[in-house]
Amino acid sequence: MRAALPSPTESIALVAALFATGCAELSSPAPIPTLSIGVVDANVWTGDPERPLVEAIGVAGDRVAALGSSDAIRALATDAIIIDADGATVVPGFIDAHVHLLDAGHRLLADSTGDALLLDDDFWPVAPEPPPAYTPAEDDAALDAALAYLAERGVTSVHHMGSWSDLEALGRARDSGRLTVRVYAAVPLPTWRRLRDAIADGRFGGDDGRGDNWLRVGALKGVVDGTVETGTAALDRPYPDSADDRGLMLYDVDRLSAQVDAADAAELQVALHAVGSRANHLALNAYERVIAANGPRDRRFRIEHAQHLRPDDIARFAALDVIASMQPAGIGDTGPRLEAMVGSAALAEPFPVRSLLDTGAVVAFGTNWGFAPAGPILGLYGAVTRRPLEAFYRSSWTPSERITIARALNAYTIAGAYASFEDRIKGRLAIGQLADFAVLDLALLSVPLPDVRLASVVVTVTGGRIVYDAR
């Protein structure tokens, strides 16, 4: 059964009532611990439908300890670091539900901007576990660069789609205390036995063998098709420059179902890369088979990208409790070029974010960083405007699929936590939750939607520790 996610609609409705009646001076269990950080004079978007907006937040240790008025938090934070937000927005730390940390880090070391848009080749065309291309020292340097880059953008957690050698680098970073971003790591689906056995052997630590709040495992990524940019996404219609080329399908339903079934029987989460409408249909069919065969459990199957969907498949995500892990920055980048890539007949299919949400599906946002630009702000802008970043574009692309800023923030926070089975401890700013948040430089909830892209991160806090500070 799907855990209850905060309702964006309810959050918006409660904001006005909260300020009309006046915030309670303080919300915190007694006794109140000594605060280490206080954020005041802010618009704190908590993601909690019971209290969606407060003025100030207090941190003790690695947890949120108090919420309330600025005066109340200041009174408790006599020996704390005070961050004055000057009326700007504070949000739960962004959770990027799809990145390639090591790839991104190595490219950062070669190109310090980190923003070059690269074709998405994140699948293993020959072997499920390619040999490491870098030394451990090179991987460590790349990971450190990637973590710093993400902290500058308010990202406090990521879902890393990578390899076993990546896990070695992540483990070294955790053990040495170098992780400043929390990582939920996936490895290739064909290696499900290795992951099952490593968890059983306690390799990753933790009470459940799957790690701790900084590094967790339990997910397997399979790849069903390729990408639109390379002409390998499996579409229902031929590509415009071919009479019969509909892209590349790497599985048939029987073979895919068999691998998913084995992983599911081992109580591992499966995340399938599916871009084209034909690939998404196949992935949903495989999931449906496995659910019917293995019975109900809290499995939280995922489809990574879910970019082109048949209209009849949209409602199946909610019906099957399949999470759509999407990259909304691609709306602004890919949208204007899609007609040339897939043809005008397919233009109604891509990025149906609002349609998925309206059916009750969980949509978690990410960036595909490593093969696309990083930064949740670009994704928020794409989701709420459906416009390209270029200023000369004034109209929205498929405007019926635009969503509210609250829905977009939910997709970048609590939905990401849900997608990694961590929604009980992060994704919202509530008492007892991990103190992961970002302080922005503008009032994100009230600016004109085209101005969302102008937002910058001023401070990032992860686990009660300031990991980025541009003040």
pLDDT of residue 23 exceeding 50, the answer is no
Q: Determine the 3-state secondary structure of 192 from DSSP.
A: helix
- Tens of pLDDT, residue by residue over 317-347, are 999 999 999 999 988 666 556 766 776 666 6
Contact 136, 404 (CB under 8 A): no
Residues in the chain: 471
pLDDT of residue 120 exceeding 70, the answer is no
**Which amino acid would we find at residue 258?**
A
pLDDT of residue 83 exceeding 90, the answer is yes
| Domain 94-426 belongs in CATH node 3.20.20.140 | yes
pLDDT at res. 122: 44
pLDDT of residue 259 exceeding 80, the answer is yes
Domain 1-92+428-471 is of which CATH architecture? Roll (2.30)
State the average pLDDT for the chain.
Answer: 88
What band does 393 get if pLDDT is binned at 50, 70 and 90?
low
The residues that bridge with 27 in the sheet, in sequence order, are 67
At residue 118's C-alpha, the angle toward residues 112 and 120, to 5°, is 135
How far is it, in rounded angstroms, from Cα 343 to Cα 385?
Answer: 23
**Which amino acid would we find at residue 306?**
A
**Which amino acid would we find at residue 84?**
D
pLDDT at res. 387: 86
CA 90 to chain CA centroid, Å, is 18
pLDDT at res. 58: 98
Read off the pLDDT of each residue in 259-282 and give the average, rounded to a whole number: 98
pLDDT of residue 6 exceeding 70, the answer is no
What band does 127 get if pLDDT is binned at 50, 70 and 90?
very low
Domain ranges across the chain: 1-92+428-471, 94-426
pLDDT of residue 414 exceeding 60, the answer is yes
pLDDT at res. 116: 44
Burial code (b: 16+ CB inside 10 Å, e: under 16) for 212-242 equals ebbbbbbbbbbbbbbbbbebbbbbbbebeee
pLDDT of residue 378 exceeding 80, the answer is yes
pLDDT of residue 48 exceeding 60, the answer is yes
Express as a percent the part of the chain with pLDDT over 70: 84
